[in-house]
Each structure stands twice: as C-alpha cells, then as structure tokens.
Structure 1
C-alpha cells in the first residue's frame, strides 16, 4: 500500500530496477532531480553498516563477487567486517551452530584477508570501510598489538572496529568467553586509541534471553559508563534468536534511557531477527518506527549477511529487503538519516551528505 505525506513507500516491484539509476556514486543527486523521491524510488538502504565479507569457516564469496552484490542491489556504502571468531581450518563446518563443541576463537586472519582483497581489487563504485574484527574482549591486553599489526601491513586503511563480542549466547557452546566487568575496565588502552582515531566500535552484546530478557544489560551499561566518549554501535539493538519474546515497550524504554544518557551511542538495525521476531508483529512495527522517528540521528542500517560460498546474490538481496522494511514506515528525516546513510557518514566523519527528501 502506497502512503502519502511524510511517510511514503515505494511500489513493491520496482526497487531493484531503480537501484542502478538512483545511486551512481556516493552522495550524488538523483539524475535530473535534486532530491530523493520516496514515491518512486527504493525503500532499501543504500548503506550496509553490518556486512561480513568472510564466513566463520569454509570458502567465502569471492570479494569481487560480493562487491557486485552491493552494486546490483543499490548499496553504495558498506562496512567490511570479517568474522572475528573462526572455526578451525580442519573443521568441515561453515556455521558454528552446526558444530557445538567446536571452538570458535578470535583471529586476525579475516582482517588481513579483507584488507588484502581491498588492495588487490580497489573497488571504485562502492565506498568500503574496513573494520578490525579480531579483538578478544575478554583478553583486551592483546588488542593494541593486533591493531599495530594491521597498521603496519595496511597503514591508514582501517576505519572501524567490530563486530566484536561482549556476550553472544549463540556461541557459548563453542567456547566463547564473555567479557566481564573487570575485563571491560581493562579495555581502556585500545578504547583510547579508538577515540583518538575517531573509529566507531560495533559491539554484539545480547540483552538477555526469553527466560531473563535483561540478564546481560549490566555489561553494556558498564561499557557506556566507562567509555562515554567512544562512538559505540550496539549491534541488533541487543536482540537475538535467544530473545524473541521481549515486551517491545520494555525494550524501547531501555533504548530511550540509554540514548538519552549516552549521546555517542548508535543503534545497529541489522539482522533479520529484528524484522521476523519484532517489527513484523501486529502493532509493533509502528512502535519502533515512532521510536526511530523520535531519534532519527541514532541508528544505522545493515544486513548482517555472512558471505559464505553456500549463499548467492538472491540471499543477499532478500536480506537487504527484509532488514530495510522498517524504512517504509519512517518519516522523511529518519529515512534520510538511516536508509540514505547520513548517520553512517557522520559516524565515519567522511564529509558525505545524503540527498534531501523530495517534498510532496
């Protein structure tokens, strides 16, 4: 159903065909237009702020092919995450959930692989922000040395850190060691370095589970309290497959409180769990859209696509559409800031500007 006025959705069949025409380069205006017309142009985000170019194990989608997925879908800006935790090289698994008991441990390998791919292929039509995904937050003393290793081999190329795991319940059976309050206090050296560089930090920190929805909230509170001047991005707004039945009003209330207290906190809207388990439920989408409209500068989009060779363009295309559905309900200010990338540009400090929304 097409909407009019402040909130306008695109007709459902034209989003992909329009993608090539609409976004020829970063920050450019629509051809023959000075604004983005939501009545006729795609609702899908032009930014993928949470994209894993490397899988947990096995073969990855070739880098050049993955970049072609972005171009074809209309995405023009993406954060290049690896996977900070790798399955053993001799493991037949490509996904940790298929192999409980198999260790999934932090490694620098994927960050080196991503950086080498950027050097080799030098993509021109998509703006890629390399991210350091190796940190083991439970053993923070190893992080500065890892940063120096990447700096030495690829000086000036990295612009982000994350996704890193504070507490991720899904990989607890794979020997994931969550960070505790004492560990978080020992983050100070690398957090200082991130502040000085202006790097955002994307943290996966589960709120809790269906049995105890706020069991781990104290960990994120501790991070925000100790490092209020860091640009912190909370992956998936704290939600997960282990927490699919939280009261939306309670969840939104927690987010409002934290956003008010910590001005540098940004929410990550990636992963289809948000759409499948929350936004798509009757009456719930409107609540989250109203929340985002009230805080338009505090969220970025993403797919959380993991580029395993077992996946295709069609899978990426679907993930982008599903994770972008909330965009259709946003007012113009939030749509520009989130879907068209202004918040993402501001986090990176790259000086780019999203197009204005056409007045109707």
Structure 2
C-alpha cells in the first residue's frame, strides 16, 4: 500500500482521490504544551495505510513550570497548573527541521503549518514571512493558532488576543497574499452563556471573515470546545456563514474528541448534523486534533468516534469531508505558496537526498 506514495509529487492529488485510506487529517499536533511529542518518523508509521495526508504543527504556547506554584510537579498540560502560558516561536523551526529529516515520499504526505507567532503582535506577519524565507518549500499554512479559547486565553501572558485586533487582520491579509491556508481556533461563545443570548464572539468572527475574502480560513472545531456546547443559535450561525456567498472562502473542521462527543451525542443529533453536512459537503473537513499520539489507536480514535456520522453521510459527502476537501485546499496552497516563495527569491538549498543518505 505504501508504494502509492512513491509517485511524482504532481500526481499525488489525483492518486489520493482514488486511494483506499480512511481519511486525511486536517488538524494534527506533533508536539504538546511542553514541546515534547511523537518522533516524526514514528508519526509517518502511525499514519500507515489509514491516513493519506496530514497537516503538521506543534503548539504555539509553552506551559510554564513555576516551582512556586506546583513545586516538583511538572505540568504537562495547561489544566495541570495555574502558571502562565507563553508564545514559543521555536516550534516552527522544530517542525520544519523534523519535516526535512524525512525522505521526499514521506514529506509529500505532510503539510506543515506555521504557528509560533503572537496574534496580538503587529510584527506577527513578519515572523511568518521570515519562517517562509528560512524554510522555503516546507509550509502550506498557518495555525492552529488561538484567539478565544476556554481555559486557555486567560492564561496566556501578555495582551489578550481579539478578533478585532489589527494585528490579526495583518496576519490574515498576508496569508491571503501568499496563499497560506489558515486554521483558526476561536470559540463562538463564552462558557455558561445566558440562555437565548446571542453567542459572544459570533458577530466579531463573521466580520473578521468578511474582511478577508481572499484568504482560505478553516474555523477549527466549528467554534466548539470542552464546555462550549452547540446550541440552536450556534448552528444557525454556521448556516449563515455557509449560505453567504461572500464567505465561500470559509471552511469548518470537526476535529477533537470534545467536539465529536456533541455531534454524535444522540441519534437525533447525529442525523441533524449529517443532514446539514450532506447539504454542504464542500465546507467541512475531518481532523483528529490529536496531540503527540503514542500509537495508531490514539491517532484514529476520533475517526472511529464519528462512526455514526459516517453511516448517515452520502458517499459523496463522506469522501469530501474525510479526504477530498483536504486535498483540494492544501494542493492549491502548496502550489500558491511555492510560487510566491519563488517570486520572492526564497530558494530551498537543502540536499535533495533522503535523510538517511545525508
């Protein structure tokens, strides 16, 4: 089965459309909140014949280990301590070097993303450009990065990110210019909202999306979270975005086990979600949102969690959500970003030999 990935790069998209693998992963973290993770060679082995292609990024936030707060207990996750999170820019170099350590046939299966920037910083777009200049031929997008996230936003040191921040507009303008896919996490609401109230962040998010019609944006987790649960007005908001012709550049991923628990909570819920996706199959992507998985079962668990949903989707919708939407978006991004890099004179000078022969 692995031989199918040894064909020339330009044939990869056509091949993937016919492959027997189960899904492409639009949302995958190689490393965790303390910048540790799965060795990249092992991750390719974990993908095996199950996952055709995958995004590849770390986590832009580092969890501080404050001895004053947790003593000898070393936190490994943001819920393990009250200590601050801070932006960790080295993640981009780490991801790029890990990617470059692979042979070309393995690289062709991965789409690295730039995440190590502060979305409140007007210099953030310059960081993204600098990463592209330093590692040409590597990155296809930016993200996952966070604006509003339950339990996380309030822990980040420095300014609070906002959907109305000019720094964020500058980032999305630059992504659109280059052709980078954007994977953005922003909750559509605050925890424990007043019943019947309009979602806190929806208007701001919609306005942001409207300001950047030339940028391909994936709204991570459909705006849901651990306790940011779906309600009627949230589903109505997604519908408003999808049915707005001015927002055809906006997509949604259904990644994360915390999201799956809502979308397949009951047979009635699953049918409602399936009916909606069947009407708009071009706008959704599957992602796992797994963080540094140790094995194949860990990486695939979200896919199997969505089993009831796959059973209710049409064949066409299922193929698009699991595979084809990913390939369409990221094939286009690869082409545009490489062309932009070439125009800027950013040249990949690394050896073309497989890592084992360097």
* TM-score normalised to structure 2 length: 0.79
- The residue aligned with 1:210 is 192
Once the two structures are superposed, residues 7-55 of structure 1 have per-residue CA deviations (whole angstroms, 9 ceiling, x without a partner) of xxxxxxxxxxxxx58976745669xxx967xxxx77x4x2000000111
Q: How does 1:76-87 map to 2 (within 5 A)?
A: 76-87=52-63
Q: d(CA) in 2 for partners of 1:28 and 1:231?
A: 21
Once the two structures are superposed, residues 144-165 of structure 1 have per-residue CA deviations (whole angstroms, 9 ceiling, x without a partner) of 2211331232113111111111
Q: How does 1:269-348 map to 2 (within 5 A)?
A: 269-307=254-292, 311-323=294-306, 325-339=308-322, 341-348=323-330
Alpha carbons 1:203, 1:234 under 8 Å: kept: yes
Q: CA 1:318–1:145 in structure 2 vs 1: closer, same or farther (change >3 Å)?
A: same
Once the two structures are superposed, residues 214-254 of structure 1 have per-residue CA deviations (whole angstroms, 9 ceiling, x without a partner) of 1222331231122122111100000101223x33x433221
Matched, 1:67 2:44: yes
- The residue aligned with 2:141 is 160
Alpha carbons 2:47, 2:296 under 8 Å: kept: no
- The residue aligned with 2:226 is 241
Q: CA 1:22–1:318 in structure 2 vs 1: closer, same or farther (change >3 Å)?
A: farther
Q: How does 1:184-195 map to 2 (within 5 A)?
A: 185-195=166-176
Alpha carbons 1:195, 1:231 under 8 Å: kept: yes
Unpaired runs of at least 5, structure 1:
1-19, 353-360
* TM-score normalised to structure 1 length: 0.79
Alpha carbons 1:301, 1:338 under 8 Å: kept: yes
- The residue aligned with 1:267 is 252
Unpaired runs of at least 5, structure 2:
7-11, 68-73, 335-358
Q: CA 1:264–1:182 in structure 2 vs 1: closer, same or farther (change >3 Å)?
A: closer
Q: Comparing both structures, which one devotes a greater share of its residues to helix?
A: 2
2:117 to 135, 156, 165: 135
Once the two structures are superposed, residues 55-96 of structure 1 have per-residue CA deviations (whole angstroms, 9 ceiling, x without a partner) of 111531111111211115x10110112101112377822111
Q: CA 1:181–1:52 in structure 2 vs 1: closer, same or farther (change >3 Å)?
A: closer
User: SS where residue 334 of structure 1 aligns?
Assistant: helix
Q: d(CA) in 1 for partners of 2:173 and 2:318?
A: 32
Once the two structures are superposed, residues 291-344 of structure 1 have per-residue CA deviations (whole angstroms, 9 ceiling, x without a partner) of 111001111110000006xx43332232332246522321122112111x2211
Q: What root-mean-square deviation, in Å, do the aligned CA atoms of Structure 1 and Structure 2 show? A: 2.7
Matched, 1:226 2:211: yes
Alpha carbons 1:166, 1:205 under 8 Å: kept: yes
Q: What is the number of equivalent residue pairs in this alignment?
A: 315
Q: CA 1:64–1:229 in structure 2 vs 1: closer, same or farther (change >3 Å)?
A: same
Q: d(CA) in 2 for partners of 1:319 and 1:22?
A: 26
Q: CA 1:289–1:23 in structure 2 vs 1: closer, same or farther (change >3 Å)?
A: farther
Q: d(CA) in 2 for partners of 1:21 and 1:154?
A: 27
